[in-house]
Structure 1
Amino acid sequence: MKSLQSEALIYAQNHFKIFPLKVNSKSEQVLKSWKEEAVDDIDQVTKWWNNNPLYNIGLKTGNGLVVIDVDCKNGKNGMEQLKPFLANFPKTRIAKTCNGGYHLYYKVNREVRNSIALMEGIDVRGDGGYVLAPPSVVDDKSYAWVNNLPIAEANDAVYDFLSKTKKDTTKSLDDCCLIQEGKRNDYLFKMACYLQKKGFHDESIRLCIAKENEKRCYPSLEMKEVNSICSSALNYDKGFIQTKREVEYGGRFTAKELLSSDIKEEQDIVEDMIPIGLTLIGAPQKTGKTFFGLQLADAIASGKKFLGKNVKQGTALYLAFEDHKNKIQKRLKTMKIEEKDNLVVDVLKSDNYFDLEKRIQKELEINKDLRVVVVDTFAKMRRNKDRDYDSEYSESTLYHELAFKYNLSIILITHVKKEIDPNHPFDSIYGSRGIIAGADSIIVLFKRNFLSKNRQLAIQGKDFPEEELTICQNEMCLFEIVENDFDEQIDENLSKVINFIVRNKVYEGSHETLCSKLSLKLRGKGLQILLTKNKDFLKDSFITYEILPRTNKARLMRLVYEGDEET
């Protein structure tokens, strides 16, 4: 067997442009640019192979030389494809490749570009390409000449065959577009990861990568290796392809353009209450905000009116950060909510790193008609602990933008300040005004009088008039509009005591002292009788009443309010 070094010199003497490739490799380069540096200069070739006599020989094609590359591996049989044409081809020089394929060499008098998959298992190496020349070695297998015939001039049959690139619309690729050995795995893996990130189906990714391997990789990888690459990429989180229409609100318009444009008005999720965008619902503890949120979500899922207002029906996602599964189930049963698949409840732990967008994307993959996401409560997933205006405005704007991106409403149930001014209820939302400024709608559920059975529902939005409704929970804990805003009369003295305890949280002392402190119209003994008689009513108001053991002084008592909400 002749040496690689001696054969390289023979190629140079016969004016083939050649260059060295690393030992046992088809594509690993020795030179910075083989296209620019391939030569037929004897001295340069001698110098290269003196550095390493085992360098493989890269033979540059083009400039009058074309090689038809016939592949016979990976289930392909290029020779079977070529056989019908061979009878009309001139006899020419042929080399056998290390994989059992063949290289047919022809001289041409016109430009012929590289082409991948001219036919099944057949590539063309022309201008801008190269082949390994015998006796190059890959995987301990050598390239070898099948015959000693001279390289023939291509005839019309050869040119017709080569022109199949145009007839079959197969894309012709320059060598710069091919993925050579050593880079194939990395290229296919990155491509598969890209498709995975974009949210393509697993099977689509596998088919795409298999086709890229066939069309772009030279030589193609074994399918077993391609499948392994795909499996690795599919271990990463799958992305999401946006399928819902985003609300468009960007661009430059004149007043004339806006007024003359046929713009379809977006329907509120709940008429004049909850638009597409961000809604804040503020409520003190024990006012029924979870019942309110579940009733709202059920109305949207069912398509039935909510507090007399029309809704846009669709899937409702309820994120319960404060209640366990059994509590949610008990409330749904109390409310007699019917079984339905488009009212979805996630029971979650407090998570300051909760990815709301990812959860929305996951639900959209199942329910394309997702209309509303209710977060109960916002404090359990807030990332930003700062309560300055800029920080809170930035945070609420983020959810506003997210809602518009997916054309739905995000409802954040949030805390309110301990004291609510009935004349300015929206100022009670806990935090700075920044959290309010970024919202599209604000709802506050509160009592004008702590002892009242009724609640006030104050509603404020950017695109609908401010409104206040009086509502009350029925026996199923469902909220209904109260036609006659009338509350049962409560003893004035009891009312003063309850309001005092709600504000101050605890009182420990004598009945007589409390009577004096609150200017009650009764004495100590009378207050003791009043509180004892209304002990259950106090309990319903989250106040415990306890007579303390007698001391040398007057008998003392303790009143404690246990209804405080975390802030």
Structure 2
Amino acid sequence: MKWAEGLKAAANGVAACPLPDGVTMPATISAQELETKDFPPISWVVEGLIPEGLTLLAGKPKIGKSWLALQIGLAVSTSGEVLGRRTTQGTVLYAALEDNPRRLKSRMSKSCRCASGWPRELIFATEWPRLDAGGLEATEAWIGQHPNTRLVIIDTLATVRPASNSRDSLYQSDYQALRGLHDLANRHGVGIVVIHHVRKAEAEDRFDTVSGSTGLTGAADATLVLSNTSDGKVLYGRGRDLAEFESAVEFDQETCRWSDLGRPCDAYGSATRKAIREALTAGKNSPKDIAEHCGLDYDLCAKTLQRMAEGGEVLKGGRDNYRLTPDPLP
């Protein structure tokens, strides 16, 4: 009996058909078994920012993605902090494939503030084969040779991306470009950060600006987008284990380091909005009480509160009572 005919027979109540040669039945688990199964907590490379697995970091050219990647690599290799977040220490491979050793030394001289010298656990490469030409195997072999590996940074995706197959759709091509790295990161329990670009066209959802199709963001466990806004630079984050967030960030030209300024509405908001947020923090909830507390015109206060509610900065309850939207990364 042919396999397809066997499936049809099984559906009609006939004895189950054998699987094709070389095919094994996938493992399954019942809901009851799942209920009693214990799993370890989420493993973070950078707490609340980069989970174990594959992370895509995207932004426009020259916005400072490589500086941020270097800052992350330095922090992880020295058990430091990045953007005010703790890291899990380990060996870091930074494949800076658009740089050369001279430029890397210049960048390290500006950004490294290690009292005991530059970290031995931060290792650079300026050349790496494409993923479909031995690059994936080379990455896995490198991780095997460095058992304390915690993070691999690939800067940029374009330098290692597999050659596209004309028979594949754009989504399939993008998804397959990262699928191997995704599997590798999860099998070895490490973080892999891939640097990528965004397209010129703006989008209502910042994550739709990532260059290419949604296959890239679909293959990644988490996506970070570093973006310019009319107020300043903002880092957006979203992922399977990463709570969606947006933080105002600032680049210091002297130290060549990024810092987290908090919520964009706090860092870049108008004086009126800041006053309203301070009043809400002080326990004032109605437009009347907030206006009196801040010394604001009532109509201005009420209209601003309405716009803040529409933008998600505050939450509106019954009887025109307002409260601050909880911070996903307190």
Unaligned runs of 5+ in 2: 1-25, 270-330
- Of the three residues 295, 307, 313, the one matched with 2:89 is 313
Moved over 4 A (4+): 349-354
1:459 aligns with: 237
Seq. identity, %: 27
1:253 aligns with: 29
1:482 aligns with: 261
Q: Which structure: greater helix fraction?
A: 2
- Of the three residues 194, 197, 214, the one matched with 1:412 is 194
- In 2 relative to 1, CA 349–438 (structure 1 residues): closer, same or farther, beyond 3 Å? closer
2:74 touches 2:119 (CA, 8 Å); kept in 1? no
1:363 aligns with: 142
- In 2 relative to 1, CA 435–312 (structure 1 residues): closer, same or farther, beyond 3 Å? same
2:293 aligns with: none
1:274 aligns with: 50
Alignment of 1:118-517 (within 5 A): 251-338=27-114, 339-348=118-127, 351=130, 353=132, 355-385=134-164, 388-421=170-203, 423-449=204-230, 454-474=232-252, 475-483=254-262, 485-486=267-268
Structure 1 distance, partners of 2:28, 2:129, is 42
- In 2 relative to 1, CA 466–266 (structure 1 residues): closer, same or farther, beyond 3 Å? closer
Instruction: Return the offset for 1:401.
Output: 0.8
The amino acid of 1:403's aligned partner reads: A
Instruction: Return the offset for 1:350.
Output: 7.5
- SS of the equivalent of 1:391 reads helix
2:136 touches 2:181 (CA, 8 Å); kept in 1? no
Structure 1 distance, partners of 2:239, 2:51, is 8
2:128 touches 2:135 (CA, 8 Å); kept in 1? no
TM-score (normalizing by structure 1): 0.39
- In 2 relative to 1, CA 328–466 (structure 1 residues): closer, same or farther, beyond 3 Å? same
Unaligned runs of 5+ in 1: 1-249, 488-567
Structure 2 distance, partners of 1:370, 1:349, is 18
Structure 2 distance, partners of 1:417, 1:270, is 27
- SS of the equivalent of 2:81 reads coil
- SS of the equivalent of 2:72 reads helix
- In 2 relative to 1, CA 256–310 (structure 1 residues): closer, same or farther, beyond 3 Å? farther
Instruction: Return the offset for 1:289.
Output: 0.7
Structure with more contact order per residue of length (Cα contacts < 8 Å, sep ≥ 6): 2
Structure 1 distance, partners of 2:66, 2:179, is 24
**Which digits, 9 at most, give the CA deviation of each residue in 1:295-341, with x for residues without a partner?**
01111111122212222211111001101111111111111243111
Instruction: Return the offset for 1:273.
Output: 2.0
- In 2 relative to 1, CA 351–365 (structure 1 residues): closer, same or farther, beyond 3 Å? closer
Structure 2 distance, partners of 1:262, 1:383, is 37
Instruction: Return the offset for 1:384.
Output: 2.9
- In 2 relative to 1, CA 357–406 (structure 1 residues): closer, same or farther, beyond 3 Å? farther
- SS of the equivalent of 1:457 reads strand
The amino acid of 1:401's aligned partner reads: D
The amino acid of 1:400's aligned partner reads: H
Structure 2 distance, partners of 1:432, 1:462, is 18
- In 2 relative to 1, CA 455–350 (structure 1 residues): closer, same or farther, beyond 3 Å? farther
Structure 1 distance, partners of 2:136, 2:188, is 9
**Which digits, 9 at most, give the CA deviation of each residue in 1:499-519, with x for residues without a partner?**
xxxxxxxxxxxxxxxxxxxxx
Instruction: Return the offset for 1:372.
Output: 1.0
Structure 2 distance, partners of 1:420, 1:467, is 19
**Which digits, 9 at most, give the CA deviation of each residue in 1:102-127, with x for residues without a partner?**
xxxxxxxxxxxxxxxxxxxxxxxxxx
Instruction: Return the offset for 1:349.
Output: 6.6
2:93 touches 2:123 (CA, 8 Å); kept in 1? yes
- SS of the equivalent of 1:269 reads strand
The amino acid of 2:136's aligned partner reads: E
